[in-house]
């Protein structure tokens, strides 16, 4: 992963599959927790957009990229515009647009987290996923979401608190 | 400052230790979307060397080798493959068989760029066995558009995969050869005579 920006700068076409290989599972897992049922299309669209952008960047620009954060920013923009499209059509809920038959099943350990994350507000859910699946720092999340650092911290903290309560109730 | 208590307590929240793997088709879609796995290679055929183009979904075009690089339909050079152009595992043998037999057989074929009419004309044509011929009218009837004989001719003239989809086995109702897109009528005669000898 450390060598990838340099490799992409030197030979984009040859190195791009390595970027997909290195990033796809984490991205797919995180996107699935934020946008259930849409991890697959969002993951593939993110990489296609990323490739198209990289073909326009200079070698110097590619070298200076922080790839993981950059990819997630593309993914979040795609996810949000998708979210907005859904929100503007209130009669069409998320479940009705996914075709469960075509989706690979979510493994039980992740499915349990989906049930918990569902109960968080959108801001909490998004920041918790970025913090613990994306493994980004607070300043990175703040930059990616263009939200104040303090807000990001409080969203994560409240999200965790809620998750803990949910898990305590599960245990009880 | 983050609340250290909350931060520490997240340790109690045990996340699964493995990321979920996206289905294999995601990688294929990325290759298709970026064009990274499109390529072409030279093969032998009864009419001499041909180029065969492919993407991860299947073979997409075939043309005679007449220049150093293949040409696009508007006669401009095809873009060079971005990666070393090796068809997916096992396809080379399938391409050779498909060319020599004049039928796709097991070879994946991607006709997604064509109209649904064009696709049904070519899919029907693909089933004409070696050594046999059918008329344009027969194809039109088979696809349920008996009036569309002329359109069938146009669709066959635009067949992106001659030899593999045997449009040379479609002739006029009066028995004359009709047109052939891969290098002209003479090639159609060569192919049909050769098949007649073998059968």
Catalytic residue set of B? 167
Minimal C-alpha gap between B18 and chain A (Å): 9
Q: In terms of DSSP bridges, do strands B170-171 and B134-135 run parallel, antiparallel, or are they unpaired?
A: parallel
Residue among A28, A48, A163 minimizing CB distance to B34: A48
**Span A126-158, pLDDT tens digits:** 999 999 999 999 999 999 999 999 999 999 999
A160/B6 CB distance under 8 A: yes
User: What's the pTM?
Assistant: 0.72
A20 reaches B (C-beta below 8 A): yes
**Alpha-carbon span B99 to B102, nearest angstrom:** 5
Minimal C-alpha gap between B93 and chain A (Å): 26
* Contact of B117 with B92, CB cutoff 8 Å: no
What value, to the nearest 5°, has the Cα angle with vertex A108 and ends A107 and A112?
120
Alpha-carbon radius of gyration of chain A: 17
* Chain B hits for A161, Cβ within 8 Å: 6
Going through chain B in order, the beta strands assigned E by DSSP cover 39-43, 50-55, 58-64, 134-135, 170-171
B36/A39 CB distance under 8 A: no
Q: In terms of DSSP bridges, do strands B39-43 and B50-55 run parallel, antiparallel, or are they unpaired?
A: antiparallel
> Which ipTM did the prediction report?
0.84
* Contact of A35 with A83, CB cutoff 8 Å: yes
Q: What is the largest CA-CA distance in chain A?
A: 57
pLDDT of res. A100 = 42
* Chain B hits for A47, Cβ within 8 Å: 30, 33-34
Q: How far is CA A7 from CA A20, A48, B8, in A?
A: 13, 18, 38
Closest-CA residue of A relative to B21 is A25
In sequence order, what are the residues at sequence separation of 6 or more whose Cβ sits closer than 8 angstroms to the Cβ of residue B29?
Answer: A44, A48
* Contact of B9 with A160, CB cutoff 8 Å: yes
In this prediction, what percent of chain A has a pLDDT beyond 90?
75
B29/A14 CB distance under 8 A: no
Is the model's pLDDT at B83 over the cut of 70?
no
Mean pLDDT of chain A: 88
Cα A134 versus chain centre, distance: 7
């Amino acid at each position: 992963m450390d060598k990838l920006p340099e490799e992409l700068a030197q030979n984009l076409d040859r190195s791009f599959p390595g970027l997909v290989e290195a990033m796809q599972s984490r991205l797919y897992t995180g996107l699935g927790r934020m946008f259930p049922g849409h991890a697959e299309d969002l993951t593939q669209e993110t990489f296609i957009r990323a490739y198209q952008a990289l073909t326009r960047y200079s070698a110097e620009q590619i070298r200076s990229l922080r790839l993981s954060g950059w990819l997630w920013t593309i993914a979040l923009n795609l996810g949000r515009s998708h979210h907005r499209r859904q929100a503007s059509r209130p009669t069409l809920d998320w479940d009705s647009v996914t075709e469960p038959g075509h989706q690979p099943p979510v493994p039980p350990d992740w499915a349990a987290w989906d049930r918990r994350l569902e109960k968080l507000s959108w801001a909490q859910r998004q920041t918790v996923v970025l913090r613990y699946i994306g493994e980004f720092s607070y300043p990175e999340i703040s930059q990616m979401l263009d939200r104040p650092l303090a807000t990001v911290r409080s969203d994560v903290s409240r999200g965790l608190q809620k998750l803990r309560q949910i898990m305590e109730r599960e245990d009880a | 400052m983050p609340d250290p208590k909350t931060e520490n307590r997240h340790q109690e929240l045990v996340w699964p230790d493995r990321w979920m793997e996206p289905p294999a088709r995601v990688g294929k879609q990325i290759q298709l979307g970026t064009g990274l796995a499109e390529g072409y290679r030279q093969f032998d055929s009864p009419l001499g060397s041909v180029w065969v183009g492919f993407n991860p979904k299947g073979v997409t075009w075939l043309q005679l080798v007449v220049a150093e690089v293949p040409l696009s339909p508007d006669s401009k050079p095809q873009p060079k493959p971005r990666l070393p152009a090796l068809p997916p595992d096992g396809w080379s043998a399938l391409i050779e068989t498909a060319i020599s037999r004049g039928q796709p057989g097991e070879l994946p074929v991607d006709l997604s760029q064509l109209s649904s009419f064009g696709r049904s004309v070519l899919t029907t044509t693909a089933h004409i066995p070696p050594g046999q011929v059918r008329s344009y009218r027969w194809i039109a009837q088979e696809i349920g558009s008996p009036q569309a004989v002329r359109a069938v001719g146009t669709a066959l003239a635009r067949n992106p995969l001659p030899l593999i989809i045997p449009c040379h086995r479609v002739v006029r109702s009066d028995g004359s050869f009709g047109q052939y897109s891969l290098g002209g009528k003479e090639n159609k005669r060569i192919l049909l005579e050769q098949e007649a000898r073998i059968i």
